[in-house]
Every structure is written in structure tokens, then in C-alpha cells.
Amino acid sequence: MIPHREEIRGLVTAHSKGFEVGAMWNTDGSKTWHQRYDHPLWGLEGYFSDLGNDALGMQGALSIFTRLPSFRRPHFSAYWHFGIGAGYSNATWDLETNNKAIVLGSHFNATLSLGYYTELCIAERLSIAAGLRMTHLSNGSVVVPNLGTNNAALSLGCRYSIKDEAISSNRPNIPAVRGMQINVGYAAGIRQNQPAGGPTHLVHTLSLAGAYRFNYGSSVLLGTDFFYNTSIRPFLIRDNGSYTTRDLIQMGLFAGYAQHFDRMEFRIMAGYYLKNGYSGNGSLYHRFGFRYRIADHFMVQLHLKTHFAKADYPEIGIVWYRGR
């Protein structure tokens, strides 16, 4: 386990061990994004690992993932791996029974996996696979404590193809997609403050943004956020003795990048608070997540807002857009 915070360095007492098992399918080239990303794989996987410390217990996760080819030859291939899903930890923080396990405050969590895998074909349908992988579990500060876990692994395994893999070597013309988009979005999130066991706070977000799509796969973003953040109320009372409704309003300016996969886009953004009544988290914030187009001019979104490596809250919302 990677000790990404000084508070958990003492919990890393041994190497973790685990396994993953899954099923993968080749994209068939019927969609433009299949061609744009050189016929990626997609699949479902189960993941299980201990964390090398009895206080931290064991973790499991079920994820959907994609593997984007970075190198592909008849007998050797390499892939970038991106996965997202739901995770479970059998050990959580408890003041009386497990007060050392400060990394997670809930059994159920979100999981994110990033990796790089290589495959060497040794028979007609059998390949040996080796890779590097990072698996992250966190509940996004919905329940604290929530330092999260980052488990880095070197993996070795095999892949068996049930049927012949027919992958076209043709690279058809990818349509040129350029243009501006404007969008207005609303999202809601929840979080707890330290210490553990306190109330849950609601955060509302209104975002106004523009995006310029400079090719089929990529866009750059620029916009402004308005937050109505009830979670900072206790800190305002602590620091100032009182607060007004206006003190709960935060405003930020952000820039970002989006990667497009047909109806879905993955987004990463960095923002600066223009107005912020509580400075305990600094002047910068970040968001990453995805949007999915459900109809003409409407998308749903799921993001995680953070202050660098510290999760602030997850948010879910709806977006109206106009343009490319």
C-alpha cells in the first residue's frame, strides 16, 4: 500500500497480495470511437487484495474497464487500463474496536484503477500478461475518516481467447469535429466533516462553462462555479463566531480538459476560488469525473471534487448544453 499521507505511513507493515479475474471483449469497429482509439478492449473484472495489515483488513471490488492499445503487433501488445466501479472493505475505522484503521470510514466505497499491461502470445489463443496497476478505494468524504487507500501492484497472469480475434488493420478517416459548446449544469453533493460521526452536509453547485472541441477526441474547458456549501458553516462559526447565508457561497474559475468516447466524456479540471469565506482548504480546487449524453442538449454527470489529494465530496447532476 502506498502511504500517500504521513498519518498512514505506520500502517504499511507488509506487502499486500491479491488477484484479479475478468472477462474482456474486443470492440467491433462499428462506432467511430472504436476506430479513433485503435479498437480498445472493454470488460468486467473482480479484484481482491489484503493490505498487509490486520487493522486494514481485506478489499474487494467489481469494476467495468477499458484497455486502450498503445502498441499492437500479432504476438505482442501493450494497453493502458482504466477502470471504475464499487469496492468493499471488511475493516473500517471504529473508535472502540479499530481506531488504527483511519483510511476508510465506510464498508462500501468507490474504486478507481489505473494500469499498464503487456501481453505476449504463446499459443493460438493463449497469452501471458504482465502489468503495473494502482487501485484506489475511497468514499469521497461522504463518511469520515476518508484518507483512502492506494494499492500498487505488479501483476502476472494469463488471458485465454474463447474465439479468434479479428481486428481490422484499416484506419478509416476519423471525422473532423471542431466547434464551441456552452453548457449550464447543476449538481448536488454530500460530505461529513471531522471528527467522525458528525452530521452530513449538502453542497449545491451551479456551473457555467464553454468548451472548444479541437478534434474528435479532445476538448478544452473554461468556466465558473457557484457553490452553496453548508459544510463550511461549522468552521465559520468556529473562526468568526457567526455566519451569514452569503458566507456559505463560494465562487471559482476553472479550466480543464475532456476526452470523448462517443456519448461519454471524461473530464479533469483545476479551479481557483474567487470568493471563499473559509480558507482552510486553500485557494485551489480540482474535479474529475465523467458526463454522459442522455438526449439532445442534456447530459448527466458524476464528479469528485478535491483539494489536491484530499477528497471534498462527490457530486451528481444534470447539464444542458448547446453546440458540439
Q: What's the whole-number mean pLDDT along residues 92-119? A: 93
Q: What is the spatial distance between Cα 105 and Cα 103, in angstroms, rounded to a whole number?
A: 7
Instruction: Mark out the alpha helices in 138-271 (DSSP H runs).
Output: 233-240
pLDDT at 248: 97
Q: Which of 29-33, 226-230, 239-243 has the lowest mean pLDDT?
A: 29-33
- Average pLDDT across the chain, whole number: 93
pLDDT at 196: 86
pLDDT at 4: 86
State the Cα torsion 70-72-76-81 to the nearest 10°: 40
Q: Confirm if 277 and 250 have CB atoms less than 8 A apart.
A: yes
pLDDT at 171: 58
Q: What is the spatial distance between Cα 118 and Cα 115, in angstroms, rounded to a whole number?
A: 10
Taking only the tens place, the pLDDT of each residue in 146-174 is: 999 999 999 999 999 987 765 655 556 77
Q: What's the whole-number mean pLDDT along residues 25-40? A: 87
Q: What is the spatial distance between Cα 252 and Cα 324, in angstroms, rounded to a whole number?
A: 25
Nearest to 81 by CA among 63, 65, 70, 61: 65
Q: Confirm if 84 and 289 have CB atoms less than 8 A apart.
A: no
Helix (H) or strand (E) holding 318: strand 310-323
- Taking the model in full, what pTM does it have? 0.88
CA atoms within 13 A of residue 24's CA, in its CB half-sphere: 19
The CA-based angle 309-312-317, given to 5 degrees, is 120
